[in-house]
Amino acid sequence: MKRLLIVDDEANIRLVVKEYAEFEGYEVAEAEDGMQAVELVKSQDFDVIIMDIMMPRLDGFSACKEIKKYKNIPVIMLSARGEEYDKLFGFELGIDDYVVKPFSPKELMARVKAVIKRSEHAAPANPDRLKFEGLEIDMAGREVYVNGKRVSMTPKEYDLLFYLVKNSNIALTRDKLLEEVWGYDFFGDDRTVDTHIKMLRNSLGEYRKFIVTLRGMGYKFEVR
């Protein structure tokens, strides 16, 4: 049975989400703030965390950052705000999805199912270690080095970079990238790809030059 952790300081929201989750067959644990969530993650395993951003003691962003130090558990963020900054910051922390309040509990469950499916069917890594000038990519170890220094990236940045590299010099549409990196059932749009490409380029520094924008179409990892 899949286990969910619901983190929200509003008891009514936890109750509604718990009822729908249990109806879908999930086992549910609850936390009313980020501090409790971190402690639960240290002692228990979960398949997905549904976490509010604005909470007392420790907010959702800080809790997510702390949790990632211990375990790589998919996180769906809940927020009453839909600003692009919040979404971008969340994706930089490695969250898997972002839901704006008020939300449909049925849609939230669909997103939970999609996140679990993507997590279970992640493509196996290529064992080769590739080098493009001062950019080194260790597929098996999921590590990236820029001029010998290891770069810390979000899980989706790694997935996106690895897919681009595996298809070097091939033009890839935004839809194709969404389909292959996020999955058929991802609740997102073209801007999700653009946002992560921007994050990835920032991580690669001077070697961002390898990721070429194809105007009106998508991107490719171009090497000569």
CATH code for the domain in which residue 193 is found: 1.10.10.10
Q: Which residue has the higher pLDDT, 88 or 199?
A: 199
Secondary structure (3-state) at 21: helix
End-of-domain residue from the set 121, 148, 169: 121
- Strand ordering across the sheet containing 143-146: 129-132, 135-138, 143-146, 149-151
Q: How many CB atoms lie within 10 A of CB 23?
A: 10
Tell me, yes or no, whether 98 and 166 share the same domain: no
User: Residue 125: its pLDDT value, please?
Assistant: 47
**Cα 211 from chain centroid (whole Å):** 20
pLDDT-derived band at 80 (thresholds 50, 70, 90) equals confident
Tell me, yes or no, whether 147 and 60 share the same domain: no
Tell me what the mean pLDDT of segment 124-128 comes to. Answer: 52
Digit-coded pLDDT (tens) for 194-218: 999 999 999 999 999 999 999 989 9
pLDDT at residue 126 greater than cutoff 50: no
d(C-alpha 109, C-alpha 24), whole Å: 8
pLDDT-derived band at 139 (thresholds 50, 70, 90) equals confident
Domain housing 89: 3-121
CATH number reported for the structural domain that contains residue 28 in this entry: 3.40.50.2300
What is the overall mean pLDDT for the chain?
89
Tell me what the mean pLDDT of segment 110-124 comes to. Answer: 79
Tell me, yes or no, whether 61 and 115 share the same domain: yes
pLDDT at residue 97 greater than cutoff 70: yes
User: Residue 122: its pLDDT value, please?
Assistant: 59
Tell me, yes or no, whether 164 and 191 share the same domain: yes
Q: How many structural domains comprise the chain? A: 2
pLDDT at residue 18 greater than cutoff 50: yes
End-of-domain residue from the set 92, 121, 150: 121
List all residues 6 or more positions away from 106 whose beta carbon is below 8 Å from its beta carbon.
20
Across 18-22, 115-119, 166-170, the highest mean pLDDT is recorded for: 18-22
Residue among 127, 209, 201 nearest 161 (CA): 201
pLDDT-derived band at 185 (thresholds 50, 70, 90) equals low
pLDDT at residue 127 greater than cutoff 80: no
End-of-domain residue from the set 121, 151, 180: 121
